Amino acid sequence: MELSAMHNLKLGPKALLKWTVVALIVLVNLYADICMYSNGDIAYPLLDLVLVGAGVYIFVSKKMYAQRYAFPSVAGMSAFIIFPLIYTLWISFTNYSGAHVMTVESAKAFHMQKTYKSEGGDFAYKIFATEDNMCNIYLTQGDVAYSLESAINLKDSKLTANANQGKVTELKLVAATQQPEGKLLPMKDLMPLRNNLKSLVLLVPESQIKLSMSGIRQFSAKSEKFKELKVGEKADNGFVVDSKNVLWDNETKQLFMPNGDTGFYQYANEKGELFGEEFSPGFKVSVGLKNYIKFLSNESIRMPFIQIFLWTVFFSGFTVFITLAIGMLLACLVQWEFLRFKGIYRVFLILPYAVPSFISILVFKGLFNQNFGELNVFLNIVMAPLYNLFGAQWTPIEWFTDPWAARAMILMVNAWLGYPYMMILCMGLLKSIPDDLYEATAIEGATPLQNLTKITLPLLIKPLAPLLIASFAFNFNNFVLIQLLTGGGPDIIEATEAPAGYTDLLVSFTYRIAFEGGKGNDYGLAAAVATMIFIMVGLLSLLQLRLTKNSQAQR
């Protein structure tokens, strides 16, 4: 028994290769997770740990053999559907925006890097270089002069790397009675060394003074502006620190504390009461339902949202209806047995579907140009004389500045882009309808309209129902059309708190809140709006499925 067990423990080449691959995958992902976590990210490392851990267990364990085939699809759904939904929901409960992208620890670290000019004054400096590229810095202030204790190579790769990473290099100074040996570097040779020079901190002998570069030809005495106070420590103004991330301003002798409500650092009095200016950068904090309350209670946000929601529903529904009508009509025409050159007509009618949509949209944008577009030029030539006959004056249509004209333009362009898809579907479904039905109705003397309403439509709608719902959902989020054609404009003047336009769909409205807000990118509010959109689209989809199911049951 023991020999048999030992024999089973031996790894063959195949098993060894498998475990080596598993170990590499785990190590690479752990390293990536640690790097992401060290940068302040929690969500993505957690997702990666869960997916990689579950994947390793499923593909290694013999008990989970059947789940191996389903895991890739489940993992993809988790990473690209469930996780973004949860992450968006989480963001909607924060103040995450263009002004609040850091954590409070990162904001604290940013402020602690600040310095201020302290006692010690300013020193003019010169740099002397020897033939072996070793340099010495010579500083003067009146009769006082200092130079480096040891010359350095200002082009050293290690010094350059530290400077690029924001690290400082401390160097000791000694009193100097004469200029160092070497050739004085001219200004043109100093400019490439500025970044390295800024990373130097020069220590004045027998003093606490530290000199840093403050100008092209000047080093100044600088001190750290802030120092961190630990919990329980008593500040100079008598305040006992009771929370983390509290700083003390060495220059103004004041408390500097994070505001958990606004996500900014502010000064505070001896009682810990915040006041005055809010200092950037801001940091992310939880705001609860504040974004949702702002969305529901602020008239300048709620009003355009409701207006855009109604327009989005109409746009999606009307687009599905008009493209289906045009597509079905053309499909019936191109399959008419007495029509000649049907193949050529089909090719030309399908061409709009073959051309990339963004190219077609940009072409239409030029055609609808209010001043030079071919459409307005044609309308001016035709309509102006007709209006003159009745004593009226023809005014060119302002496609991009008039709300109703802009919406009409959007509908026309989308109908052009969408009808080929519906035509192809209808052409295929028409082939599945038996000719015997039409022959029987012809004997009974049925008209083409009766054939359409009693045979063609009922037999087409049932298989088309899921595709029509998918088309509605696609047009509900048709961001590319709006962004390329109108950009959401013309803008709604009453929408002062969030950018909104008459042709905006909910998806473009959310995009503009997130990336085009006048007060900074408001990702938290955009996430709240996106969550509301998700709920509404889900309810609409459920309603459509229920209506479709009921209509099919009645048949």
The 10s digit of each residue's pLDDT in 79-92 is: 988 999 999 999 99
Token couple for 48? 């990666």
How many C-beta atoms surround the C-beta of residue 131 within 10 A? 7
- Same domain flag for 387 and 437: yes
d(CA 272, CA 240): 9
What is d(CA 112, CA 224) in angstroms, rounded to the nearest whole number?
7
Neighbours of 529 (CB within 10 A): 25
Do 271 and 419 belong to one domain? no
Query: Residue 223 forms beta bridges with which residues?
Result: 116
What CATH code is carried by the domain that includes residue 52? 1.20.58.370
Query: Per the domain annotation, does 288 fall within a domain?
Result: no
The secondary structure of residue 81, as a DSSP letter, is I
140/208 same-domain check: yes
pTM: 0.72
Residue 96 lies in a domain: no
Domain termination site, one of 28, 57, 91:
91
Q: With left for phi above 0 and alpha for psi between -120 and 50, is residue 276 left, alpha or beta?
A: left
Across the range 48-72, mean pLDDT stands at 88
**pLDDT score of 395 more than 80:** yes
Check: CB of residue 220 under 8 Å from CB of residue 125: no
Where does 225-263 show beta strands of DSSP type E? 226-229, 246-249, 254-259
Residues 334 and 426 occupy one common structural domain = yes
Coil/strand/helix, residue 467: helix
**What CATH code is carried by the domain that includes residue 324?**
1.10.3720.10
Least confident of 206-215, 241-250, 543-552: 543-552
pLDDT at residue 545 in the model = 72
Phi, psi (degrees; rounded to nearest 5) at 264:
-135, 155
Find tokens 């995450």 and name the residue.
96
Q: Residue 391 has what pLDDT?
A: 82
How many beta carbons lie within 10 A of that of residue 456, not counting itself? 20
Is 98 part of a structural domain of the chain?
no
Cβ neighbours of 68 (radius 10 Å): 12
Cα–Cα dist 215/92, whole Å: 44
The candidate with the shortest Cα–Cα distance to 137, out of 120, 159, 153, is 153
Place of tokens 């983390």: 244
Q: Residues 401, 550: one domain?
A: yes
Torsion, CA 433, CA 438, CA 439, CA 443, rounded to 10? 160
Shared domain for 362 and 438, answered yes or no, is yes
The answer on 199 and 144 residing in a single domain is yes
Summarize pLDDT for 113-123 with one digit per residue, the tens.
888 877 777 89
Q: Is the pLDDT of residue 336 over 60?
A: yes
Residue in 61, 4, 100 with CA at minimum distance from that of residue 517 = 100
pLDDT of residue 1: 42
Q: What is the pLDDT of residues 166-211, one digit of tens each?
A: 788 899 999 998 888 889 988 888 888 889 898 898 888 887 788 8
For residues 119 and 140, give the distance between their C-alpha atoms in angstroms, rounded to a whole number. 16
Is the pLDDT confidence value at 255 over 90?
yes
User: Are residues 214 and 132 both part of a single domain?
Assistant: yes
pLDDT band at residue 554 using 50, 70 and 90 as cut-offs: low
**pLDDT for the residue numbered 3:** 42
| CA separation for the pair 111, 230 (Å, rounded) | 16
Residue 335 located in a structural domain: yes
The domain containing residue 333 runs over which residues?
Answer: 293-554
CATH number at residue 129: 2.40.430.10
State the pLDDT at residue 187.
Answer: 83
Over the range 229-268, which residues count as b (16 or more CB within 10 Å of their CB) and which as e?
beeeeebeeebebeeebbbbbbeeebbbbbbeebbbbbbb
- At 285 the pLDDT is 92
Domain boundary at 180, 206, 224, which?
A: 224
Output the pLDDT for position 266. 94
- ∠ at Cα 76 (39, 45), nearest 5°? 15
Over residues 343-358, the mean pLDDT reads 84
User: Whole-number mean pLDDT of the chain?
Assistant: 86
Asked whether residue 1 is domain-assigned, the answer is no
Encode pLDDT of 476-532 as tens digits: 889 999 999 999 989 888 777 778 899 999 999 989 888 876 556 789 989 998 888
Residue 99 lies in a domain: no
Query: Does 181 map to a domain?
Result: yes
Which tokens belong to 457?
A: 């439509």
For helices 523-554 and 83-91, give the axis angle rounded to 10 degrees: 130
Report the pLDDT value the prediction gives residue 6, as an integer from 0 to 100.
43
Query: In terms of domains, do 406 and 364 share one?
Result: yes
Q: Kindly give, in sequence order, each residue whose CB lies less than 8 Å from that of residue 73, ignoring residues fewer than 6 positions away.
A: none
Compute CA distances 445 → 337, 354, 450, 547, whole Å: 19, 40, 10, 34
Question: Are 241 and 318 in the same domain?
Answer: no
Do 207 and 241 have their domain in common?
no
Q: What is the tally of structural domains in the chain? A: 4
At position 367, the amino acid (one-letter code) is L
Q: Given 283, 316, 332, which residue is the final one in a domain?
A: 283
Asked if residue 543 has pLDDT above 90, the reply is no
6 part of a folded domain = no
The pLDDT-based confidence of 5 (bands split at 50, 70, 90) is very low
Same domain, 231 and 220: no
